[in-house]
Amino acid sequence: MGKRVAIVTGASGGLGKEFVKLMLQEDLDEIWAIARNQEKLKELKQELGNRVLIFSRDLTQSEQVHSIRELLLDQSPEIVYLVNNAGIGKMGTYQDFSVEEIEATITINCSAVAALCALCIPYMKRGSRILNISSQASFQPVAYINLYAATKAFVRSYSRALNLELKSTGITVTSVCPGWVDTDLLMKESNGEPINFPALVTAKRVADKAMKDAKRGKDMSVCTLFVKGMHLFVKVFPQKMVMQSYARSLEKYLE
């Protein structure tokens, strides 16, 4: 096998950039940073150095996800880490989403995650780690971030079962389930009102904890006591009740 690499999607900002920084501390030859925005990717390389290789791909487009196969065939790397981090989501009712937006969200949040796992696993060895970024929103259905929450439930379910399937190979899969993280993904205000995100954390804190948990081979990474509490809450209380409480807290932000 060739160079030891980490692949990080959605690497140009937010949580993905923090993962790239953490990968630079690992015994790796290259970090492959994938996102759309070429300018932001170039800035990332300038800031973090030549071990970061940048690849501009739009992961809402299936053929651009498939193009990673050619890259792998060409380079034949040893993939030590795969971080499926790129994801999109927005708040709104079912009427606020076009069919194209629905398909794009499912492609990047679900299909690309499973496809990249399938493409990368043949290049992994015992001890390689996959981190798939899910969300606290995966714990139960959530009205008004319905599509997003459903895609993140897919990621969590897929990742945990894949981890079990891979047990004999020594490759682990960690489903990372953060609560609110202070990144550009979050809409900061609605109807002129600042949005309140309970227990908001930094991207660095989530990435640090996720890497620690992945190295321990945990199948889920939950960063804060608040999110751990929410995970327990949905196990103890009826889902309908939790769903209604979430819906009430989000309703006021709908335009």
Ligand X SMILES: NC(=O)c1ccc[n+]([C@@H]2O[C@H](COP(=O)([O-])OP(=O)(O)OC[C@H]3O[C@@H](n4cnc5c(N)ncnc54)[C@H](OP(=O)(O)O)[C@@H]3O)[C@@H](O)[C@H]2O)c1
**Contact positions vs ligand X (CB under 6 A):** 10-16, 35-37, 40, 57-60, 85-89, 108, 133, 135, 178, 180-181, 183-186, 203
> What phi and psi, each to the nearest 5 degrees, are found at residue 195?
-85, 135
The residues annotated with a catalytic role in the active site are: 148
- Please report how close the Cβ of residue 125 comes to ligand X at its closest, in angstroms: 26
Q: Which tokens go with 246?
A: 């979430």
Whole-number Å distance between alpha carbons of 135 and 137: 5
- Half-sphere exposure (Cβ direction) of 112: Cα atoms closer than 13 Å: 34
Those residues with Cβ within 8 angstroms of residue 253's Cβ, 6 or more apart along the chain or in another chain: 91, 144, 187, 190, 191, 193, 195
Helices (H), the chain: 14-23, 38-48, 62-75, 99-106, 112-120, 146-165, 203-215, 225-236, 239-251
Nearest-approach distance from CB 144 to ligand X, in angstroms: 15
How far is CA 252 from its chain centroid?
27
Q: What distance in Å separates the CA atoms of residue 55 and residue 136, rounded to the nearest whole number? A: 29
Q: Which is nearer to ligand X, 11 or 28 (CB)?
A: 11
Q: How far apart are CA 41 and CA 50, in angstroms?
A: 12
Smallest distance from the beta carbon of 28 to ligand X, in angstroms? Answer: 19
| Residue 245 beta carbon to ligand X: minimum distance, rounded to whole angstroms | 19
Q: Which is nearer to ligand X, 72 or 223 (CB)?
A: 223
Give the nearer residue to ligand X in terms of CB position, either 26 or 182. 182
Residue closest to 157 by CA, chosen among 134, 141, 136: 134
* 3-state SS, residue 202: coil
- Using the minimum distance from each CB to ligand X, give the nearer residue, 62 or 126: 62
Residue 123 or 180: the one with the smaller Cβ distance to ligand X is 180
SS3 per residue for 36-82: CCHHHHHHHHHHHCCCEEEEECCCCCHHHHHHHHHHHHHHCCEEEEE
Smallest gap from Cβ 103 to ligand X, in A, equals 12
Whichever of 104 and 243 has its CB closer to ligand X, that residue is 104
CA-to-CA distance for 187 and 117, rounded, in angstroms?
Answer: 30
